[in-house]
Amino acid sequence: MRNFRLDDESGHQEALFSWAGYQLGRMPELEYMYHVPNGGKRDAATATALKRQGVKAGVPDIHLPVARGEYHGLYIELKAGKNTTTAKQKGWLRFLRQQGYFTAVCYGWQAAAELIEKYLLRIKDLGEAGQIWGKE
């Protein structure tokens, strides 16, 4: 894996998807994992256009549309450093859990990778939805 700047969430996103690329032989379902680019800094015109196109605040960063156990799929809100979830993010995660998805907040790409591996390969070791992974 190449080196990534891990001082913000975008670097952790890149590292996670790089890791996923290396894991396709073990977990081919990772081909269908994707990032939802709802966050980030944008100029006002772009933000307005994206809202008209359906972008919604609070949607989790990562979705793996693969059913496991009782869950329809996995949603991850990826955080870096001391960032915390917003009220809208908490609302989305709560809603998605109610709809039968496994949801989690992961601090750092390594915590997200551990969660994904457990979700795909060892669902019985996963624990409860809605947990925080990797927070010190």
pLDDT at 3: 65
pLDDT at 45: 86
Residues listed for the chain: 136
pLDDT at 39: 67
Between CA 133 and CA 136 the distance in angstroms is: 9
Between CA 21 and CA 23 the distance in angstroms is: 5
Q: CB-based contacts of 120: which residues, under 8 Å, 6+ apart? A: 27, 29, 30, 64, 66, 68
| pTM summary value | 0.90
pLDDT at 54: 84
pLDDT at 33: 98
10-residue averages of pLDDT along the chain (136 residues): 70 94 98 86 79 88 96 96 92 97 96 97 89 82
The burial of 53, by beta-carbon neighbours within 10 Å (0-12 exposed, 13-18 middle, 19 or more buried), is given as exposed
* 9-133: CATH architecture: 3-Layer(aba) Sandwich (3.40)
Per DSSP, the three-state class of 79 is: strand
End-to-end CA distance of the chain: give it in Å, rounded.
24
Domain residue extents for the chain: 9-133
pLDDT at 2: 62
Q: CB-based contacts of 116: which residues, under 8 Å, 6+ apart? A: 20, 27, 30, 33, 64, 74, 76
